[in-house]
Amino acid sequence: MHLAYPAVLSALLFCTGLYGVLARRNAILVLMSVELMLNAVNLNLVAFDVWLSRAAEETLHSGQALTLFTIAIAAAEIGIGLAIVLAVHRNRGTADIDKLRDTAERHDSDGPDHDALAAERSDEDQKAEATA
Amino acid sequence: MTTTTLAALVPLLPFLGAVAGLLLGRTAPGFVRPLAVLPTLTSLVLAAVVAGRQGGGAAVDSATELTPTGSVPIELALHIDGFAALVAVLVGLVATCVQIYSTGYLRDDPRYPSYAALVSLFTSAMFLVVYSGDLIVLLVGWEVMGICSYFLVGHYWETPEARAASLKAFLVTKLGDVPFLIGLFALATDAGSFRITRILGTVASGGLDHPTLIALLLLAGVAGKSAQFPLHTWLPDAMAGPTPVSALIHAATMVAAGVYFIARLLPVFEASQAAMVVLAVMAAVTMTGSALAALAQDDIKRVLAYSTIGQLGYMTGALAVGDRGAAVFHLLSHGAFKALLFLAAGVIIHAAGTNSLAAMSRMRNLRDRIPDAYWTMTVALLALAAIPPFSGFFSKEAVLGVAEHVVTGHTEHTPAAAGWIVLVAGLLTAVLTAAYAMRLWLLAFRGRGTEAPDHGRQPLTMTVVLWVLAVPSLALGGFAFRLLPDWFDGRDLGPTLTTSVLGTGLALVGGIVTYAAWRHTTALAARVPLGAVAAHPEGDAAQVEAEAIATHKPAYGDIAYAPDPADPGRLLLGPLHRHAAAGFHLDAVYTVLFVRPVQAGASLVRFLDREVVETYVRGAGALPRWLGAAVRRAQTGNVQTYVSALLAGTVVLAVAAVLVATGA
Amino acid sequence: MILAASSATYLATGHTTGAAAQTHGFLSPTGVEIAFLLVGLVTFGAALVTVTTKQLVHAALWLVVTLGGLAVEYLLLTAEFIAWVQVLIYVGSVVVLLLFGLMLTRAPIGRSPDADSGNRWAALAVAVAAAAALVWVVVDAFRTTWIDLDGPAAGSTEATGASLFQNWVLPFEALSVLLLAALVGAIVLSRKAKAESSSPPVNAPATTKSSRTITESSGNAGRSEQEGAR
């Protein structure tokens, strides 16, 4: 079989997962996309292992061994990742990635929108107190 | 000890006293007074011993070079001839008197330690100037005096007058010091040395290339230091300092430094006829102008200040006709009686609670309250007015005699024109001097009106000093004019008949006319009440004086002037009175010529700095700030954006790496 | 579609190289290749639907299709053990976990209009550029490389097990420790709701410590939770 088939399929799957990671809003969908990327890598590993086990003398089947490891690590990652997403959802009421903006620039040094932002924030605080 | 060692100790002791006084001033206040008086007193004794050993014989010369300093060597040199020895004794005497007087005058002053240390430092610097045989070392003392003068005039720095006066004194003398420094360098370059003896040797052999230029440059510095026209304006304002400071600095020593400097280097000036004429004109304008101004002043210390300027004019006049013996003779006698005048004026100000003559003329019995000041001041004023047999008579007649000598054709280096200028101006000034001395005496001691305020007995330290100084004022001239030629150049200093009769007669005329005018105007004094009096029976004299200075301008509208119709000076001067009181508006001229352009330049520079330079600086700051704001917008907090940018960069880098690797 | 285009160009170039490589002709593709290509198309299509669908649960289900397709590809590549592991772990457990996660986060059933964030177009650009670069490089590099699938299977259970327990024992054991750590970590992260509501347990000091830090962080986050609720 032509080696380019699995290689190209792997590349395309990887980029699909990449798009998903970058474009999806829900954290669980992002995790799914990460799984896609990992599987693309796995396919690459398996394909090259099969190729090299015929072409080279001694390969120790490293590709397949690493694939197994990757699968195991992916399982661990999905477990931890879901736990984190659940924790975030519990604390913030949302699992949307683009609402988790704690590292954003605060505009508190200068700039015209500082006051407006502060007023807005204090409004939010008041509303929060009112609802609570 | 050798004479050289003794002479070296003379400037050193007050210097050490000043350092110790500054160091111990706060920690050990009990040592401050001994540290102020004793070194100066010792220096006086040592200076007298040095003078006795030198004895008018050959000059004592000694030099040591500390370290090579380039092309023209600078040496620690002593050059003690008769002039130096006697002037040092005068400096020591006046400084000692002033230090003793100050212990009483600034009895309760919290800044007395630093004041006494500065006076000691000043005395040390004056000794250095007097004894130094090297011009650069002399310049060191010269400048130290300038800075000490700045601090001492500004002693009452709480009052704006004192602050302005100290700044003015410093700036005006520095204005003269810059050409002075250049002149010194030019002189040393021509002579190849800073040593006075070598310079005089060069001059004697005619080796000076630019005598006129050098002499005029040096004259600028002398005019600044010795308060000669046109750089004299700082001296009347410097009366805002304490009275002992006025006595020491602005009467007896510092202003004498300029005259003394010319006396030392007289051959350099004599090498240029033009410089001698300039010197004569300067002396004449200074003499007559300052005497007119003195007649119109209301502040007693300003009268004395203008009088100092006038007497210094006599000295420079004597130098202009080429006789340094007469100049230094007058310097010695003037130093004694002018110090006495100032110190007595301090007592009067304390007793009267005012420095205004107009206010004093409305006080009864002032002379009975301070008999010591009354009698000693009378002696000093008679000396000032050159009435025989007081010391001022002999020294002034020596000056006039020399001028007459030149006029009658016995010229060596001096143009006859200089003789005429000095003689005429000197005789004219004799009239005016007697007039303002008479006016001062009448207004201060012959006042009538309310009782003078009681400030208690004057401290003993202040009154004893007056009598000590009264002795040379009274008797110095009569003995000295026979002895001094041995110490000086050997020229006869005795009074000649013509000038004696002429001078004394003119002085009497001036005094009598003033007395007549006073009789005429004094009736007005009762009708026009005037005067503000500071009464601090418990306070020391300095406190009274500081208050008097601070209140003069609010009370009378001007620092030098009082609207007093009972003033005989007003009657004598007529329409000239207003201009004379303002010092002939020289300050206004300076304001237009120098102060305004400098201020305009300063505001231009400020404009350039604030508006032009700052704009570039702000622009340089604004660009990064805008860039930073733009970059900050990228920090949205959205992790996906960050990862997108990261991966986009990775792709670009990977493609670039592949392209490079494949050689595309 | 990209796959189709690239394989089309690839087939076109295969005309010229096919003559040189007598044993592997493109014009006469083997059955394995055709099967691989078809399953690959299905897999890729399912992956595209997974990352683009607006129904979150459907995305998980399409992920099952993708992962299953990959398992078939592994089989075609004679890596049978990996294929069954893939089916067991991914399709069997990971997707189930994801579905649980979706439900626990109260993901909406049905179409949700905001499934994609505003970063979509930048993501698309990056992904397309990366795909173009990768496909170009991979095709350029392995144009003339063939896999020999004849003979004994490369990834039989026997071969895999032999290599795994002869050559990869130590990493394998280390991996087991990692899995244990992940297990414990997931439990700790999931327990914090209880720790927050009830009093902290007294049995394990490590747990107490971690729960305390979590309490603090959740205390900080309380306000934003309120905002989110609002």
Residue B324, amino acid: R
**ipTM given for this complex:** 0.77
Q: How far is C123 from chain B (nearest CA, A)?
A: 6
Whether A119 has a pLDDT exceeding 70, the answer reads: no
Determine, for residues C133 and B654 on separate chains, whether the beta-carbon distance falls below 8 Å. yes
- Chain B: list its partners (3+ Cβ pairs within 8 Å): A, C
Answer with the one of B527, B546, B574 that is the final residue of a domain. Answer: B574
pLDDT in tens, B45-87: 998 888 888 776 777 788 787 777 777 778 888 888 888 888 8
Verify that B280 and B339 share a domain, yes or no: yes
Q: How far apart are CA B618 and CA B610, in angstroms?
A: 11
Task: Give the best-scoring range by mean pLDDT among B453-457, B479-483, C130-134.
Answer: C130-134
Determine, for residues C117 and B640 on separate chains, whether the beta-carbon distance falls below 8 Å. yes
The percentage of residues in chain B with a pLDDT greater than 70, rounded to a whole number, is 94
Could you tell me which residue, B304 or B358, shows the higher pLDDT? Answer: B304
Q: How far is CA B516 from CA B512, B605, B609, in A?
A: 6, 57, 62
Whether C55 maps to a domain, the answer reads: yes
In a mutational test of the B interface, the residue from A14, A19, A22 whose CB has the highest number of chain B CBs within 10 Å is: A22
Tokens of B559: 């620092």
List the domain range (segments joined by +) for residue B598. Answer: 582-633
Determine, for residues A18 and C190 on separate chains, whether the beta-carbon distance falls below 8 Å. no
Q: What is the CATH number of the domain that holds C29?
A: 1.20.120.1200
Verify that C125 and C214 share a domain, yes or no: no
Verify that B616 and B655 share a domain, yes or no: no
Rg (CA), chain A: 23
CATH topology of domain A4-100: Helix Hairpins (1.10.287)
The backbone region for B574, taken as left when phi is positive above 0, alpha when psi lies in -120 to 50, beta otherwise, is left
- What's the pLDDT at C71? 93
- What's the pLDDT at C1? 42
Contact of C133 with chain B, judged by CB distance below 8 Å, is answered with yes
What values do phi and psi take at B97, rounded to 5?
Answer: -60, -40
- What's the pLDDT at B397? 86
Q: How far apart are CA B134 and CA B142, in angstroms?
A: 12
Verify that C102 and C182 share a domain, yes or no: no
Burial (0-12, 13-18, 19+ Cβ within 10 Å), B366: buried
Task: Give the best-scoring range by mean pLDDT among A22-31, B235-244, C205-214.
Answer: A22-31
Q: Does residue C137 contact residue C102 with C-beta atoms inside 8 Å?
A: no
- What's the pLDDT at A123? 52
Verify that C48 and C19 share a domain, yes or no: yes
Q: How far is B642 from chain C (nearest CA, A)?
A: 10
Q: Average pLDDT over chain C, rounded to whole? A: 75
- What's the pLDDT at A35? 92
Verify that B410 and B549 share a domain, yes or no: yes
Contact of A106 with chain B, judged by CB distance below 8 Å, is answered with no
Rg (CA), chain B: 31
For residues A34-60, give the mean pLDDT. Answer: 86
Looking from the CA of C226 toward its CB, the CA atoms found within 13 Å total 13
Verify that C14 and C110 share a domain, yes or no: yes
- What's the pLDDT at B411? 66
Q: Chain A residues with CB inside 8 Å of B632's CB?
A: 105, 107
Encode burial over C26-62: b for 16+ CB neighbours within 10 A, e otherwise: beebeeebebbbebbbebbbbbbbbbbbebbbebbeb
Q: Which residue has 């986050």 as its token pair?
A: C221
Verify that C64 and C172 share a domain, yes or no: no
Contact of B629 with chain A, judged by CB distance below 8 Å, is answered with yes
pLDDT in tens, C112-125: 777 788 788 889 99
Residues 102-161 of C with CB under 8 A from A: 102, 104-107, 114-120, 122-124, 126-128, 130-131, 134-135, 138-139, 142-143, 145-149, 151, 154-155, 159-160
Verify that C131 and C226 share a domain, yes or no: no
Whether C224 has a pLDDT exceeding 50, the answer reads: no
Tokens of C117: 């964030």
Select from B480, C76, B317, B176 the least CA-distant residue to A1. C76
Verify that B383 and B493 share a domain, yes or no: yes
Cis-peptide into B388, omega within 30 deg: no
Helix, strand, coil proportions of chain C in percent (round to 5)?
A: 75, 0, 25
Select from B479, B510, B481 the least CA-distant residue to B496. B481
Tokens of A14: 């990887």
Contact of A11 with chain B, judged by CB distance below 8 Å, is answered with no
Contact of A4 with chain B, judged by CB distance below 8 Å, is answered with no
Tokens of B175: 């204005």
Q: How far is CA C63 from CA B264, C51, C94, in A?
A: 112, 9, 10
Verify that C90 and C126 share a domain, yes or no: yes
State the angle between helix axes of B371-384 and B324-352 in degrees (0 to 180), rounded to the nearest 10. Answer: 150
- What's the pLDDT at C215? 39
Whether B33 maps to a domain, the answer reads: no
Verify that B486 and B467 share a domain, yes or no: yes
Instruction: Give the one of C70, C135, C179 whose C-beta lies nearest to A76's C-beta.
Output: C179
Report the SS3 class of residue C76. Answer: helix
- What's the pLDDT at C2? 43
Q: What is the 3-state secondary structure (H, E, C) of B454-502?
A: CCCCCCHHHHHHHHHHHHHHHHHHHHHHHHHHHHCCCCCCCCCHHHHHH
> What's the number of domains chain C is made of?
2
pLDDT in tens, B273-291: 888 888 889 889 998 999 8
Encode burial over B64-82: b for 16+ CB neighbours within 10 A, e otherwise: eeeeeeeeebbbebbbbbb
pLDDT in tens, A58-97: 777 888 889 999 999 998 999 899 998 988 888 888 888 8
Q: How far apart are CA A119 and CA B316, in angstroms?
A: 81
Q: pLDDT band at C223, cuts 50/70/90?
A: very low
Q: Does residue B366 contact residue B351 with C-beta atoms inside 8 Å?
A: yes
Pairing state of beta strands B76-80 and B450-451?
Answer: unpaired
- What's the pLDDT at C24? 55
Verify that C101 and C13 share a domain, yes or no: yes
pLDDT in tens, B584-637: 888 888 888 888 999 999 999 999 998 888 899 999 999 999 998 888 877 777
Could you write out the DSSP letters of every residue in B585-637? GHHHHHIIIIIHHHHHHHHHHHHIIIIIIHHHHHHHHHHHHHHHHHHHHT---
Answer with the one of C122, C154, C186 that is the final residue of a domain. Answer: C154
> What's the number of domains chain B is made of?
3
Determine, for residues C123 and A91 on separate chains, whether the beta-carbon distance falls below 8 Å. no
Whether C122 maps to a domain, the answer reads: yes
Contact of C22 with chain A, judged by CB distance below 8 Å, is answered with no
What values do phi and psi take at A96, rounded to 5?
Answer: -85, 125
Could you tell me which residue, B258 or B548, shows the higher pLDDT? Answer: B258
- What's the pLDDT at A117? 47
Verify that B627 and B556 share a domain, yes or no: no
Q: Chain C residues with CB inside 8 Å of A7's CB?
A: 138-139, 142
Could you tell me which residue, C230 or B662, shows the higher pLDDT? Answer: B662
Q: How far apart are CA B173 and CA B180, in angstroms?
A: 10
Contact of A101 with chain C, judged by CB distance below 8 Å, is answered with no
Whether C159 maps to a domain, the answer reads: no
Report the SS3 class of residue C55. Answer: strand
Minimum CA–CA partner of A25 in chain B: B640
* Residue B279: partners with Cβ closer than 8 Å, 6 or more residues away: B219, B262, B269, B316, B319, B320, B418
Determine, for residues A8 and C218 on separate chains, whether the beta-carbon distance falls below 8 Å. no
Least confident segment among B98-107, B530-539, C126-135: B530-539
End-to-end CA distance of chain B: 99
- What's the pLDDT at A69? 92
Verify that B326 and B387 share a domain, yes or no: yes
- What's the pLDDT at A115? 46
- What's the pLDDT at C210? 40
Verify that C14 and C126 share a domain, yes or no: yes
Q: Average pLDDT over chain B, rounded to whole? A: 84
- What's the pLDDT at C41? 94
Report the SS3 class of residue B61. Answer: strand
Domain ranges of chain A: 4-100, 104-132
For residues B396-423, give the mean pLDDT. Answer: 81
Q: How far is B662 from chain A (nearest CA, A)?
A: 19
Cis-peptide into B11, omega within 30 deg: no
- What's the pLDDT at A7? 92
Q: How far apart are CA B173 and CA B227, in angstroms?
A: 8
Answer with the one of C128, C154, C180 that is the final residue of a domain. Answer: C154
Q: How far apart are CA B230 and CA B249, in angstroms?
A: 19
Q: Which residue has 């924790």 as its token pair?
A: A87
Verify that B485 and B394 share a domain, yes or no: yes
Verify that B551 and B641 share a domain, yes or no: no
Q: How far apart are CA B382 and CA B255, in angstroms?
A: 22
Verify that C58 and C136 share a domain, yes or no: yes
Verify that B400 and B519 share a domain, yes or no: yes
Q: Chain B residues with CB inside 8 Å of C126's CB?
A: 644, 647-648, 651
- What's the pLDDT at C218? 40
Verify that C141 and C188 share a domain, yes or no: no
Show the beta-strand stretches assigned E in C112-191: none
Q: How far is C133 from chain B (nearest CA, A)?
A: 7
Whether B640 has a pLDDT exceeding 80, the answer reads: yes
Could you write out the DSSP letters of every residue in B249-305? IIIISHHHHHHHHHHHTHHHHHT-HHHHHHHHHHHHHHHHHHHHHHHH--BHHHHHH
Tokens of B101: 């007087």
The percentage of residues in chain C with a pLDDT greater than 90, rounded to a whole number, is 27
Verify that B516 and B623 share a domain, yes or no: no
Helix, strand, coil proportions of chain A in percent (round to 5)?
A: 75, 5, 20
In a mutational test of the C interface, the residue from A44, A53, A88, A98 whose CB has the highest number of chain C CBs within 10 Å is: A53
For residues C180-203, give the mean pLDDT. Answer: 68
- What's the pLDDT at B539? 64
The percentage of residues in chain B with a pLDDT greater than 90, rounded to a whole number, is 8
Q: How far apart are CA C129 and CA A127, in angstroms?
A: 45
List the domain range (segments joined by +) for residue C150. Answer: 2-154
Q: Chain C residues with CB inside 8 Å of B647's CB?
A: 126, 130
Identify the helix (H) or strand (E) that includes residue B62. strand B60-64
Q: How far apart are CA B245 and CA B408, in angstroms?
A: 42
- What's the pLDDT at B80? 85
Q: How far apart are CA A13 and CA C43, in angstroms?
A: 8
Verify that B497 and B590 share a domain, yes or no: no
Residues 176-195 of C with CB under 8 A from A: 178-179, 181-183, 185-186, 189-190, 192-193
Q: How far apart are CA A41 and CA C110, in angstroms?
A: 31
Whether C7 has a pLDDT exceeding 60, the answer reads: no
In a mutational test of the A interface, the residue from C36, C50, C56, C172 whose CB has the highest number of chain A CBs within 10 Å is: C50
Instruction: Give the one of B633, B640, B644 whose C-beta lies nearest to A97's C-beta.
Output: B640
Contact of C124 with chain B, judged by CB distance below 8 Å, is answered with no
B80 - beta bridge partners? B60
Verify that C123 and C26 share a domain, yes or no: yes
Contact of C174 with chain A, judged by CB distance below 8 Å, is answered with no
Q: How far apart are CA B622 and CA B603, in angstroms?
A: 26
Burial (0-12, 13-18, 19+ Cβ within 10 Å), B608: exposed
